[in-house]
Structure formats: C-alpha cells, structure tokens
Amino acid sequence: MATLIGGLGTSHIPAIGGAIHKNLQQEPYWKPFFDGFPPIHQWLDKAQPDVVVMFYNDHGLNFFLDKMPTFAVGAAPLYHNADEGWGIPTLPPFKGEIDLSWHIINTLTGKEFDVTTCQEMLVDHACTLPLKLFWPKGECPVTVVPICINTVQFPLPSAKRVYALGRAVGEAIQSWGSDKKVAVIASGGLSHQLDGERAGFINKEFDLQFMESLLTNPEWATQYSIHELVEKSGTQGIELLMWLAMRAALTVGDKPSVRKIHSNYHIPISNTATAVLVLEKV
C-alpha cells in the first residue's frame, strides 16, 4: 500500500511567482517569506515523495460563478499552466497520477461525496506556485492529483465537511495499491481580504492560533461556521479550508500523530498573511 508521509501548506499569492521569475528572493520585501523554505527543501530531499495530492482553489480558470462545483478532482495525465499572467510566465505541464486520482474519486463517491471529475484541467498559480516553492530547481519531480475546493462562490462547504473530505482523501491514499510515497499539500491563505470595506484585513492572532491547532487540535476550526471563519480570516482568507483538509488527511491510519518539521509566518505580502508549514506523520 502507499505511504502517506506528511503534509505541507503554503500561501499562493500570484506576486510570489513574479518574485521567483525576477530572482527577487533576497530583496528585503521578499526575503522573510523565502527564508522559510530551506528547512522544507532539506526535509523533502530526505523524504522524497513520489506523488502529491494538492488541495487548492480555482481562480476562475476552470470554474466561474455560473458553474462552481463544491469539490472537483483532477484525473488528467497532464496539467497545463494557464495562469492569469501575474506569476511565473512559463512552466512545463505537471504530470498527473491518474491511478490515484480515480482511486480517490471512487473512494469519495463511495463515502457519499458528490465530486466533479475533471479529465482535463488547467492549473493556475494556486497549483504551480506551491510546486515551484517546494521544488525550486528544474522540473517538478512529483506527479500530482489536484483537488479543488470552492472558496469563491457561496454557499461554501463547512469546515466540518472539508475536514471529512480530507480524512476520506487520507484513507484513499493509504488504501491505494501502490508502493509510492505520497505527500498532501494545502495551497492558499492565510488571513486576507482583497476587496470591500475590510480590504487589507489581516488577523495575525487568529492565524497563529489556527496554525498551532493544526499540530495540537486539528478539529479546532470545525467549531466555527463558514461565516464565522470568513469574519475571522477575511473573504479570501477562507482558503484556510485547504490547510484543514490537508491536516485531516494526516489523521488516518494506525499512527495518526504528526510532528512539526518547520513553520514560518510573515505579514504582509500583497496585503496577505503568508505562512508555510510542514507536518510529518509519525
């Protein structure tokens, strides 16, 4: 059976891609963010996952307000980058892990999740940036299963439902008939709001409490309704649902415990609270 080795989380602000492209990682504005990654690279060099399952949110590339699935799973052989132009200009397509994609789809359907199956799927900065941040040199060495969670158009899935989805995905990974090592990635957040009366809103206290809960009390955020989470984290900060799904995936199996390898929190980049986190299953 496959081995679920751990989970990673990172913000996915489009401007990060521009900084990578322009080689601005050591500029004062960007350095506190990029300084959070060397310990993660060291862990990945040691852990060497073969596959990543990516929880992310689509930004109008595949789904728009007129057609917005709650959960969608990619089942494509390749995922082509079609970013909106703010990030890295060109990237080769990422290879899909089709067998795991269908195993996850079948597992979720069997657990009564109604998922949209995407045998063709374009990816934007929400997928490309985490992969480039975690593997900055050369082509991406892992295959990918993207899982899109709606954080754009209400009604949004509740934190409890997203947590249940994450657990189901974790169970699917651990029951996958493969000897490959799998890591789970959360892409998005943390607190930020880009429009409206609260534009520029950041809630550092809540962010840090949420990050701590992922280590010590993974269901902590499920006590809040989706509207309470939007109030606490901002309209776009609700992307924290990806982090919750990632953490839930790690709770499955005979050894549900995790240990923190590294974390970093920095504000602001582009009016957003940025964070990175690595949790290893033990």
Q: CA-to-CA distance for 158 and 25, rounded, in angstroms?
A: 36
Find all residues with CB under 8 Å of 158, minimum gap 6, and list them.
Answer: 222, 225, 226
Using alpha carbons only, give the angle 179, 43, 130 rounded to the nearest 5 degrees: 85
266 is catalytic: no
Catalytic residue among 12, 41, 59, 192: 192
Q: CA-to-CA distance for 206 and 233, rounded, in angstroms?
A: 7
DSSP, res 200: T
Q: Are 64 and 142 in contact (CB under 8 A)?
A: no
Q: How many CB atoms lie within 10 A of CB 85?
A: 11
103 is catalytic: no
Find all residues with CB under 8 Å of 19, minimum gap 6, and list them.
Answer: 25, 27, 30, 34
Cα–Cα separations (whole angstroms), residue 38 to 20, 233, 262: 15, 27, 10
Catalytic residue among 125, 227, 262, 266: 125
Q: Are 90 and 22 in contact (CB under 8 A)?
A: no
Q: CA-to-CA distance for 106 and 198, rounded, in angstroms?
A: 41
Phi, psi of 198 (to 5 degrees): -100, 20
Task: List, as own/partner pairs, every contact residues 58-65 make where C-beta atoms lie below 8 angstroms and the sequence separation is at least 24, other chains included.
Answer: 58/124, 58/126, 58/148, 58/152, 59/84, 59/124, 59/125, 59/126, 59/152, 60/152, 61/122, 61/123, 61/124, 62/118, 62/121, 62/122, 62/148, 63/148, 63/150, 65/152, 65/153
Active site residues: 125, 192
